[in-house]
A and B are shown apart, each in its own frame.
Chain A
Amino acid sequence: MADTLNTYLTLSAALFAIGTFGFLARRNAISMLMSIELMLNAVNLAIVAFGAFIPGLQDRGAVIALMVMAVAAAEATVGLAIVIAIYRNRKTPLVDEYDAMRR
């Protein structure tokens, strides 16, 4: 079981689905960002698994995973800064109350 690619890909799919649910269902903007982090981690798991099981990708999988991590760090920084900036104006972290462009 630990030596087949499908195990890890299924795990990655499960984590990605959990992240999708959180992103669609949560009201809090920071919860949504945490769900995005879960989805990025699921993708990273798939990349590392491919790198571990396909000989042509042996070290490249890990390199690409490191790149994804750096990009995820940048995304988290900017995303949380945006949430804090919006919170300063609207005094709420709930996304369904950010309706300035709907009125």
Chain B
Amino acid sequence: MRAWLYLIAFAIGVGIVMTPAILVFILEGGNVDDALLTAFAALMLLAGIAVVTMKDIIRCGLAMIVCFIALAGIYVQLGAPLVAAAQVIVYIGAISVLVLFAIMLTQTKSGSSQLTFQTQAGWAGVAAIVLFILIGVAVGGTAWPTLVSQRLPAATHDLATKLFSDYVLPFEVVSVLLLAAVIGGVFLAKQEAPQAPTLDWQEPEPGTRLDSSLGDANG
């Protein structure tokens, strides 16, 4: 029974993701780029909404991975394959695993999944919608200078040259930052050693017997 429910949910999700893409594909007369972008965008937004609304936090983490995968697809479409590869390695490979481990370390058995939202969740939704409208209006109202009508691919060779010539100082600073983050993370999350019970041991004066039984045993 559960398996059927999951299958139906999966089918609904695939339908929500694929329907707009197929519609775009038909309406624009077979434009594969637009259809792919629509599919990735729908997947990304759906997974993003799942991340912030689902009750089970493990599923939130898994939805986050799906969101990052869709985003990597969009990076490829934008002509930045190196960024897409870094997205897969850093976000899907490292940060998601870190988040999942943190989830497993901090979940108590009883609840904590009930009452997912704060009391101000409604106002938070309003704020998010207002923010989206504001950014949308700003984007739509801005005449970007020197736009090109074609996506420019970021060639890996040129990118690497820039990274190690113009941007070498930020690169080094970031490496120091990562080192600091590693040390800080280990320091913060380190299990503190259980404190040995402190004994108020005082050196006995010479000649006094510590224990009567011990003294008896010794004669």
B99 near A33: Cβ-Cβ < 8 Å? yes
* A91 proximity list for chain B (CB < 8 A): 108
* B153 proximity list for chain A (CB < 8 A): 52
* B171 proximity list for chain A (CB < 8 A): 67
Task: Name the residue on A nearest B117 (C-beta).
Answer: A25
Residues 46 to 100 of chain A near chain B (Cβ within 8 Å): 48-49, 51-56, 58-63, 65-67, 69-78, 80-85, 87-88, 91-94, 96
How many B residues face the partner with a CB closer than 8 A? 95
Q: Is B16 an interface residue (CB 8 A)?
A: no
Our pick among B48, B77, B95, B148 for the contact of A53 (Cβ within 8 Å) is B148
CB distance from A13 to the nearest CB of B (A): 4
B contact set with A: CB distance below 8 Å:
24, 28, 31, 33-34, 36-38, 41, 44-45, 48-49, 51-52, 57, 60-61, 64, 67-68, 71, 74-75, 77-80, 82-83, 86-87, 90-91, 94-95, 98-99, 102-103, 105-108, 112, 115-118, 120-121, 123-125, 127-129, 131-132, 135-136, 139-140, 144, 146-155, 158-159, 162-163, 166-167, 170-171, 174, 177-178, 180-182, 184-189, 191
